[in-house]
Structure 1
Amino acid sequence: MRFEDLEVWKRSARLSAELYKALRELKDFAFRDQITRSALSISSNIAEGWERNSKREFSQYLKYALGSCGELRTQLYIGIEAEYLNREQGQVWIRETRELSAMLRSLQTSTIAEEPGSTYEA
């Protein structure tokens, strides 16, 4: 198994790409950079932790991904209030971050059958 096979990685990477597309015209560069960075950090931490080939380190990187997910959710709320984001679409993304958080917590507490990264494919 590879990190690319994890549903939580697929969904978080997709969410990140959606945000990059949706915000590409936003002129508030600081906000745009921060929200896209936190979104990108979720899937990136999942991948990095997996590739470290250690259950303990994978668990730690899942904690980082959880933190990024909470950070992203906060920024989505702010983006809606600042009218940078369409309220309806923002709520869809907020629900997605809640689901991602639940998936990350579940993955973190579950017993992983094989050591993360042990079947690394280039």
Structure 2
Amino acid sequence: MTKSFEEFEVHKKGVVLTKQVFRILNQSSIEKEFGFKDQMKRAVISITNNIAEGSEYNNNKQFVRFLKIAKGSCAEVRNMLILARELEFCTQAEIQESLQLSVEISQNISNFIKYLDSKTENKKLEGLKR
């Protein structure tokens, strides 16, 4: 990979989501729910951490593995936002933008995985031609 993780649009969106989630956690009654708050923080931070870590391997197969973990963390954040709403820690209006962004990030990660998988397949095919 020639790009650094900071240049990936999906990483930039993950940073935005992290800031949004931290804002939600600081403004709502979740603040008193330390375990819930801590888990949500770890999950949202995990998205960008796994994108960053995976990109440093310079190996598409390894990068895809870490992107799948990031995608799972994205789903965890989305679930926790839904739970926060259902437990009345916050309103739908307070989390709507973050929910939408988490879906977008998840889709972006899926597309990135497909792209990297296609590059890996092309390399395998090139190896067979020789």
Q: TM above 0.5, one fold?
A: yes
CA RMSD of aligned residues (A): 2.0
- Where structure 2 has 5 or more consecutive residues not aligned to the other structure, the ranges are 120-130
Aligned counterpart in structure 2 of residue 47 of structure 1, from 45, 48, 52: 52
1:75 and 2:80 aligned = yes
Q: Percent identity?
A: 33
Any idea what the Cα deviations from partners look like across 1:20-49, whole Å, max 9, x if unmatched?
232136110011001111111001100000
Kept in 1, the 8 Å contact 2:60–2:116? The answer is no
Larger radius of gyration, structure 1 or 2? 2
Instruction: Provide the residue aligned with 2:105 in structure 1.
Output: 100
Instruction: Provide the residue aligned with 1:10 in structure 2.
Output: 12
Instruction: Provide the residue aligned with 1:19 in structure 2.
Output: 21
Give the TM-score normalised by the residue count of structure 2.
Answer: 0.81
How far did 1:93 drift?
1.1
Structure 1 segments, 4+ long, off by >6 Å, are none
Whole-angstrom CA distance in 2 between matches of 1:39 and 1:98: 13
How far did 1:86 drift?
2.5
Whole-angstrom CA distance in 2 between matches of 1:83 and 1:31: 13
Question: In structure 2, what residue type is equivalent to 1:49?
Answer: G
Whole-angstrom CA distance in 2 between matches of 1:8 and 1:66: 11
Instruction: Provide the residue aligned with 2:64 in structure 1.
Output: 59
- Where structure 1 has 5 or more consecutive residues not aligned to the other structure, the ranges are 115-122
